[in-house]
Amino acid sequence: MGLCAAIGLMGITATTAFAAEEGHEHKAGEKEKIPDTVEGIFKEIHEHHMELKEIVEKKQLAKVHETAFEIRDLAKALVPKAPADKKTQVEGTVKNISKLADDLDASGDANDQAKTEANLKKLDGVLKVLHTQFGMKMEGGEHAMQYTCPMHKDVVQDSPGNCPKCGMKLVAKQEAHKD
């Protein structure tokens, strides 16, 4: 018991020291209020997304993690509000957003401007997918891209990746209908 407690305490101390060494802590309890409606959540996501773009543009990379995690938390709040037929897709998209928030945090902490810009560009695309999954247009009326397998035209996804049937890289597909 004593040895296990000591090892656990050592891990907690090392984690805390590492976070302090990096110049910031990621506190789980510091969340802003999440709106009740899908529209309200998307409005907040858009505002934080614009803020994140400005932070990256101004090269204030130490601030990236906070805004990226706010977007992640807002996106997670959309999962229970997703249409039943899109819930699995929304969960996958939110998982991608969570990973990108972690990637943005890491590249921001490393003060890597180029990698942070690349991660932000990926986030831009995934947020477009999220909008489409809820049947919403992005600001400016644009829709998200869809991706298909060159060999299996029946495989259509809302985000880039590989074909589940053959493993080939999915390619961007032009939207079949325009509003």
Higher pLDDT, 169 or 95: 95
Residue 9 has pLDDT above 50, yes or no: no
Residues 6+ apart with CB under 8 A from 119: 100, 103, 104, 107
Residue 146 is predicted with a pLDDT of 66
Residue 136 is predicted with a pLDDT of 73
Residue 11 has pLDDT above 90, yes or no: no
Average pLDDT over residues 139-166: 71
Higher pLDDT, 144 or 128: 128
CATH of domain 31-144: 1.20.120.290
Residue 77 is predicted with a pLDDT of 96
Residue 25 has pLDDT above 60, yes or no: no
> How many residues are present in the chain?
179
pTM to 2 decimals? 0.63
Instruction: Write down the mean pLDDT value for the chain.
Output: 79
Half-sphere exposure of 106 (CA within 13 A, CB side): 9
Q: Say if CB 65 and CB 26 are below 8 A apart.
A: yes
Residue 28 is predicted with a pLDDT of 44
Q: Where are the domains of the chain?
A: 31-144, 145-179
Residue 18 is predicted with a pLDDT of 36
Report which residue type is found at 9: L
Of 8-22, 35-49, 138-152, the least confident: 8-22
